[in-house]
Amino acid sequence: MNLFKQKQAILAPLLVLVVAIIFSLTLASSVNPTPKNLPIAIVNGDQGIQVPSKGNVNIGDMMVSKINKLSKTNNGEKPAIKWIQVSSEEKVRKGLDDQKYYGALILPSDLSKNQASLKTANPSPIAIKILVNQGKNTTGSTMASQMLTHIVENLNLTTHTQIFNELKKNVSSISVKQAEVLSNPIVANIENVNAIGTHTANGNAPVTLITPLWMSSLIGAVIVFLAKKKTQTSNSISKLKVIFEQLILGVILSFIIGFGITLMAKWIGFTLPNFLDVALYLTIAYFCFHILISAVMSWVGFGGVGIFALIFFFSGSLIGMPKELLPAFSKDWIYSWVPMRFGADGLREIFYFDKGLSMSHPMSIILWIGIISLLALSLSAFKPKKEVVNQAVTMK
């Protein structure tokens, strides 16, 4: 028998090419990841000063204008930073806790006053505060910190050059104290907000824990599905009974995996904010993922496994990245809806934002996934068997 006459052999090149293309698409997020519209807050608290010949002068306004100019691009692309002006530091900190910003730049109330003092014999440096929202995303917050530091360095150099040029025109010498302050007229005070702490995989603990949970829910759902197929069900009532037993088994698996992964994480050395909160969250997430996969397989059969395997491969490299670094395809068509991402986001709020086991946005999404999946799984009890469908088609 000639191998090349077999249908599988003829289709092999096409199938292999399709698989290669699908898995190559998972690399899209790693090709030149550059930030676009990274949300960073800016507060201009400068009160300004009265200058006899100019009236009220607000150096803070000038700096904000300078910062916006530095951040603009000339090629029409989206800027790296999306500046969001906020009225006070208190509101900024609330926004950081709500994960609205990766960082913030706080211009002090005495900015203009200290700027003017740089030209006197008793100068005061300008202290600008940089807030870095570490817990939101390690990669994103690190980028925000680097960009904010770079901006302050540019402002520092500009101020240094400007003041020195003015002094050279008006004075022949400066004091040691002036020279010391003018060498670094703007001081950046960096503060990590919602810090990731130590032993959290550099802030990637949520992704690290949700990955085995997802794979466990997939494998668990497959095993239960295969066991379910061996049960003898003659009507919808008996099918519902089996589904109820399936749910009980799912609950048991959820507690085993949820608490098991948490125990392993503690044993490995992860710093857990609260053991019970993490374990219960993982238990709930596992159950909802388990029911989701079970519901899909109850309608489309064993082929549903491929769907969730693809979800894992496509989203595994995405959920740990800030969405502002992702290409449009990955952000809009994968990151925006994958269940694993919501699972990791919920853990992030427990780990770094002191939310505990609460009805957060990620938690509500996960619960809705579970509720809708439970409904779909229950309705599958009323799906006619294939034999019945085939007989009806034959009779026609």
DSSP 279-329: HHHHHHHHHHHHHHHHHHHHHHGGGHHHHHHHHHHHHTTTTTS-GGGS-HH
More confident residue, 164 or 196: 196
Residue ranges and CATH numbers for the domains of the chain are 38-193 (3.40.1710.10), 205-393 (no CATH)
Evaluate whether 71 touches 35 at the Cβ level (below 8 Å): no
Give residues with Cβ within 8 angstroms of 115, minimum separation 6: 59, 126, 159
Evaluate whether 202 touches 141 at the Cβ level (below 8 Å): no
Handedness of CA 333, 334, 335, 338 (dihedral sign): positive
CA distance 220 to 287: 10
- Model confidence at 252: pLDDT above 90: yes
Total residue count of the chain as it appears in this document: 396
Residue 197 phi/psi, 5-degree rounding, is 70, -160
* Tokens encoding 150: 């770079």
* Tokens encoding 89: 């530091």
- Model confidence at 18: pLDDT above 70: no
CA distance 130 to 186: 12
Evaluate whether 340 touches 311 at the Cβ level (below 8 Å): yes
Which range, of 9-13, 116-120, 227-231, 276-280, averages the lowest pLDDT? Answer: 9-13
* Tokens encoding 3: 């191998």
Work out the percent of the chain whose per-residue pLDDT is above 70: 87
Give the pLDDT band of residue 395 (cuts 50, 70, 90). Answer: very low
- Model confidence at 80: pLDDT above 70: yes
Evaluate whether 87 touches 109 at the Cβ level (below 8 Å): no
- pLDDT of amino acid 140: 92
Question: pLDDT tens digits for 366-387?
Answer: 999 999 999 999 998 887 765 5
Beta strands in 96-215 (DSSP E): 103-107, 126-133, 186-193
DSSP secondary structure letters along 10-23? HHHHHHHHHHHHHH
CA distance 144 to 353: 18
Evaluate whether 66 touches 60 at the Cβ level (below 8 Å): no
- Model confidence at 392: pLDDT above 50: no
Evaluate whether 221 touches 290 at the Cβ level (below 8 Å): yes
Residue with tokens 């030209």: 119
Question: pLDDT tens digits for 321-371?
Answer: 888 888 877 788 888 888 999 999 999 999 999 888 888 899 999 999 999
- pLDDT of amino acid 376: 93
pTM of the model as a whole: 0.84
Mean pLDDT of the chain: 85
Beta strands in 53-178 (DSSP E): 55-57, 81-85, 103-107, 126-133
Evaluate whether 44 touches 106 at the Cβ level (below 8 Å): no
Residues 157-176 have a mean pLDDT of 78
Q: Please work out, in degrees rounded to the nearest 5, the angle formed at the alpha carbon of residue 303 by the alpha carbons of 312 and 225.
A: 90
CA distance 291 to 221: 8
Give the pLDDT band of residue 30 (cuts 50, 70, 90). Answer: low
More confident residue, 113 or 53: 113
Q: 156: closest CA among 128, 175, 178, 131?
A: 128
Residue with tokens 């006619």: 384
CA distance 308 to 13: 24
Question: pLDDT tens digits for 227-245?
Answer: 888 876 777 888 888 889 8
CA distance 49 to 52: 10
